[in-house]
Amino acid sequence: MQLRRGKRVTAAGGAVVAMVLALAACSSSTTSAPASTSTSTSAALSGTLNGAGSSFQNTFQQSAIQAFKSVQSGVTVNYNSVGSGTGRTDLASGVVNFAGSDSPIPSSEQSSFKGKTVLYFPILIGPITLSYNLSGVSSLKLTPDVIAEIFSAKITNWDNSAIASINPGVKLPNEPITIAVRSDSSGTTQNFSLFLETAAPSDWSLGSSSTIKWPAGARAGAQNTGVAQIIKTTAGAIGYVDYTDAKASGLTYASVQNKDGNYIAPSVASASASAAGVTVAPNLTFHAVWGSGATAYPITYQTWVLVYAQQSNANDAAMLKAYIGYLLGKGQSLLAPLGYAPLPSAIDAMAKAQLTKITS
Amino acid sequence: MTQVDPAIPAGSTSPLAHRRPLGDRGFALLALASGLLVLVVLALIAISTSQQAASWFSAEGLKIFTNNWNPAANQFGALAFIYGTAITAVIALVLAVPVSIGIALLLTEVVQPRLARPIVYVVDLLAVVPSVVWGLWGILVFAPWAQHVYSSIASGVNGIPVLSFLFGGQNISGASFFTAGLILAFMITPIVTSLSREVIATTPSIDKQGAYALGATRWEMISGVVWPHSKGGVVGAVLLGLGRAMGETIAAALVIGSSATITSHLFAPGYNMPAVIANQFGESYGVFRAGLMGMGVLLFAFTIIVNIIARGVVERSARRARGA
């Protein structure tokens, strides 16, 4: 009897220990660096790379991860689509090997990287559409100024003369405009507002950020798909939606006037054209919005993979070189079918050249 | 420890009687460890979130209670979210409490226990539905339909003093304060119902029989005997429901409309604290992120206060019921 009771206690005590261990594991498992099983930089690598961040590049990351298995079957890559801000925090705290981010590290965040060099690898370009729901209007032209006035509720009706004058021959209905925006903070919002701030400085006063204080009356949806759904179900709605999601949801989108004065529709080719016309900083940061070029679509944005130049071990460095090299090389051919635009060859070459800076 | 241990039989001469059995000591340790674990986890959460939120409190000071949340201009006033949290919780209580008390009285005083059981199952099933399902149902099914209903109500009440203040307005949306409050009401009904039912069931049968013997009708019996007996406990149940309604995140984030505005119009899109944390955390940094963390701290504090009050009310009424 005594013995049996003792046994039961041991079992119950074991349960508590297990629980505490599980809790401890929760806090530490994500920080554990991938086990380095090989220190050579030869062809066959093995280990795990963890990445997190931007949801904009998530679709590309997931298909690249699948395809990369045929190149390096021993390397497991995980990418967690948690948002650029969280991805950068995770990189700073050493939780992940690389971060995905749609914007460079903001100055207020620099200190968390403790002076260590972070390398920027641009991996893809994508257009943001201005999708709308107007029955009978199959093609619409917009200028940056008009877009800024629509999204700050200065133009509130579709038959406004500012819209009509750039759309001769289009019968615009007398219908109130409903603007559809993101409810979650987003790199898409960040770059769309950056476009308005750059291209229509006199008409845009709401600033640029991942979250904008939109005028009252804006309808907010979660993710690109949420905004697309609002546009689809609301007559007279206009919103900014990722090209991939706009196409997938079957939305109609406007042509936007670019820096050279031409009205260009969003497409893979016109996005690449915009990126080709931008100035790239020595650390490979740039903004693809409002790029010059006759066929450039002006609301184009970019996303980076961020890694530390100094890696803690040779295996991590080798795996990162292999994976990012793949994203910049063969991986670029995966982009167009997914609705993304490949990097212009000049930027791609600069990024490839930077791979040698990853050291251990 | 001079306390008599019931595990040791009085006057026992067995050698085991000299010390408490291993099982008892083990059990005491286990129980203590479980209790402390919860406290430690709570304390760690409170400390680390306050730490991460520190830069918001220091950068904004009392401006955290202004209505200006504008990350693009580095302004982080959270009043609209606090307002939204209060409004949606009040709507949820106004809708859920009468229904919950009604169901509780139905189950205890009106129907046979045989019939009550299936009703209990169904009510408890509401608690099993994941909150994301509530949210998705709310935004995909309910909101588009509600948009039309809200619009016709709004035009119907146009010009009527109080009603147009609450249900009027130009900016009518299916995703609004009211939709969020309604979804929250569904979510807190099971907990309020089951707690109220338990409290009401403790009314001594002899008191009820006495009321009937004096010629009371069923309603007179409920209002004269059951209600005074269980009032405190029901208030406690309502406050626990309030705590849940304030903290519920994902369903609110999906259906509240995500517009940081303070308005009396319940059919307009709004925002509350859990929803803004869930929506904006991913792309936030610096003071912006600290502000979201800080709202977590405020919410934590509000919920603890509500829960402490609830405990107090329940305990006081339980004492009074015992004393009576």
Mean pLDDT of chain B: 88
Contact B285 A55 (CB under 8 A): no
Res. B207: pLDDT tops 50: yes
Structure confidence by residue, pLDDT tens digits, B84-139: 999 999 999 999 999 999 999 999 988 888 888 898 888 888 888 999 999 999 98
Q: Which of B16, B30, B70 sits opposite A16 (nearest CB)?
A: B30
Contact check, Cβ <8 Å, B71/A16: no
User: Other CB atoms closer than 10 Å to residue A223's CB: what's the count?
Assistant: 17
Q: Are B294 and A197 in contact (CB under 8 A)?
A: no
Q: Does the beta-carbon distance from B258 to A85 stay under 8 Å? A: no
Inter-chain CB proximity A5 and B22 less than 8 Å: yes
d(C-alpha B15, C-alpha B135), whole Å: 63
**Residue A291's pLDDT is what?**
86
Residues B175, B180: Cα–Cα separation, whole Å: 7
Q: What is the pLDDT of residues A296-321, one digit of tens each?
A: 999 999 999 999 999 999 999 999 99
Are the C-beta atoms of A178 and A197 separated by less than 8 Å?
no
How far apart, in whole angstroms, are the C-alpha atoms of residue A350 and residue A336?
21
Contacts B171 to A, Cβ<8 Å: 216-217
In what helix (H) or strand (E) does residue A59 lie, and over which residues does it extend?
Answer: helix A58-68
Most A-contacting residue of B279, B283, B289 (CB-CB within 10 A), to test interface: B283
Q: What are the angstrom distances between the C-alpha of A111 and each of A93, A104, A156, B57, B75?
A: 12, 14, 43, 20, 21
Q: What does the pLDDT look like over A238-273, one tens digit per residue?
A: 999 999 889 989 999 999 999 999 999 999 999 988
- pTM > 0.95: no
B9-46 pLDDT per residue, tens: 555 555 555 667 888 889 999 999 999 999 999 999 99
pLDDT of residue B142: 93
pLDDT per residue as tens digits for the range B75-85? 899 999 999 99
Q: Is the dihedral of CA B20, B26, B29, B32 positive or negative?
A: negative
Whether residue A225 contacts residue A245, with contact meaning beta carbons closer than 8 Å, is answered with: yes
Higher pLDDT, A27 or A285: A285
Query: Which residues in B lie closer than 8 A to residue A185 (C-beta atoms)?
Result: 71, 279-284
Which run of H or of E encompasses A61? helix A58-68
Answer yes or no: do A193 and B285 touch at CB < 8 A.
no
Give the pairing type, strands A141-142 and A255-257: parallel
pLDDT greater than 70 at residue A32: no
| pLDDT for the residue numbered B15 | 54
Q: Are B286 and A106 inside 8 Å of each other by CB? A: yes
At B232, the pLDDT band (50, 70, 90 cuts) reads confident
Write the pLDDT tens digit of every residue in B271-293. 999 999 999 988 888 889 999 99
DSSP 8-state class, residue B141: I
Residues of A in contact with B45 (CB under 8 A): none
- The answer to whether B100 faces chain A, any CB pair under 8 Å, is no
**Burial category of A52 from C-beta neighbours within 10 Å (exposed 0-12, middle 13-18, buried 19 and up):** buried
Q: Which residues pair with A253 in a beta bridge?
A: A131
- B26: chain A residues, CB-CB within 8 Å: 6, 9-10, 12-13
CB B257 within 8 A of CB B146: no
Using one digit for the tens of pLDDT, what is the confidence trace for A100-110? 999 999 888 88
Chain B neighbors of A13, CB-CB under 8 A: 26, 29-30
Contacts of B30 in chain A (CB under 8 A): 9, 12-13, 16
Q: Is A180 left (phi over 0), alpha (psi -120 to 50) or beta?
A: beta
Reference A91, options A47, A62, A66, A121; nearest CA is A121
pLDDT (0 to 100) of residue A106? 87
Integer CA distances (angstroms), B83 to A253, B41, B43, B300, in order: 37, 29, 27, 16
Say if CB B177 and CB B256 are below 8 A apart.
yes
